Chain A
Amino acid sequence: MRTLVIGGGASGKSEYAEELFSALEGTKYYIATMMPYGEDSLARIEKHRKARRDRGFCTVEHYTDLAGLSLPTKGAVLLECLGNLTANELFYEGDSEKGAFEAIMRGVEALSEQSSDLVVVTNEVFSDGLDYDESTLAYIRTLALINRELARRFDTVIEVVCGIPVALKR
């Protein structure tokens, strides 16, 4: 079963995805994608690392080239999140929009082959106007295309609103 979880900032999407993930069978691999950069992200990463240890998840930190990731065994996989992964491909690796899209689609499929169940978290960043610089608009477009393509391929798509799951596709 492949599930895409989408939500805005602080919507409760991660908590919901982790709840789904906790209920799955087998070894649980949590793929964390946030690059340790700046005070805010370091604090966030530390907070999340501690929470995951407490829940018995195996954390794999992987920032770019998801297709190159090899898990030790087949298991349940939570990928958190596409927003970070897309930013890493575009702004750290310097991929083109098409390059980032293809790298992430390849990566998600490669991960999918190694997983019994896959939960992918992504971000709703599309409803706040267009008053952004060109590189941010490129990011928005790329993430939007990835979301659409994964929503088409996956079995289930859940939007989280104020911590409440709303099914977009079942």
Chain B
Amino acid sequence: MILVFGGLASGKREYVKNELGYTDADISEDIYGGAPVLYNLHELINTDADSERYFDELLKKEVVICNDISCGIVPLDRAEREKREAVGRLLIRLAAEAKSVVRIQCGLAQIIKG
């Protein structure tokens, strides 16, 4: 699995299409839909329980795309805080298992693992 991570509209999908050779048809937000690329992982995860539920399935994907939601002030809202923590912790676990981790900034890819 390749983990592609970066800010909103930073060029993650473009990278997956242009550099990794996938098409729009390969990219889906539906984790069980059979597409090789999962998009918007951060939308799927609200709690650590969600991470547990989806972890094994995520490892079967060829590519997982996730927004960076970690770089603001700690949210006042408890649910938002929990979501941010859960996404962060899951990313650490996925990155540890991934064969490659790519961080996208300004459309540029930085391969931080693999």
Contacts and interface: CB of A to CB of B under 8 A. Distances in A.
Given A9-B85, A10-B85, A127-B7, A162 B72 contact: no
Which size bracket describes the interface of B in this complex? Answer: 20 to 34
B7 to A, nearest CB: 7
Contact of B88 (A11, A125, A127): A11
Identify whether the interface residues of A are mostly helix, strand, loop, or mixed.
Answer: loop
Interface string B46-85: 0000000000000000000000101111100010010011
Contacts, number: 71
A9 B70 CA distance: 5
B38 interface: no
A107 interface: no
A132 B76 CA distance: 11
Contact of A164 (B68, B73, B84, B101): B101
Nearest to A137: B73
Contacts of A164: 95, 101, 112-113
Interface string B88-103: 1101101110000101
A10 B87 contact: yes
Interface residues of A, number: 22
A128 B71 contact: yes
Given A162-B101, A163-B95, A164-B101, A10 B88 contact: yes
Interface string A38-50: 0010000000000
Interface of A: 7-12, 40, 124-129, 132, 136, 139-140, 161-164, 166
B91 A162 contact: yes
Q: Which 4 A-B pairs have the closest CB atoms?
A: A10-B88, A128-B72, A8-B70, A163-B92
Nearest to A166: B112
A87 to B, nearest CB: 10
A96 to B, nearest CB: 20
Nearest to A7: B70
A12 B112 CA distance: 14
B71 A10 contact: no
Given A9-B70, A12-B88, A126-B71, 9 more contacts: A10-B70, A10-B88, A11-B88, A11-B92, A127-B71, A127-B72, A161-B101, A164-B95, A164-B112
A136 B75 CA distance: 12
A132 B73 contact: yes
A128 B67 CA distance: 12
A9 B87 CA distance: 10
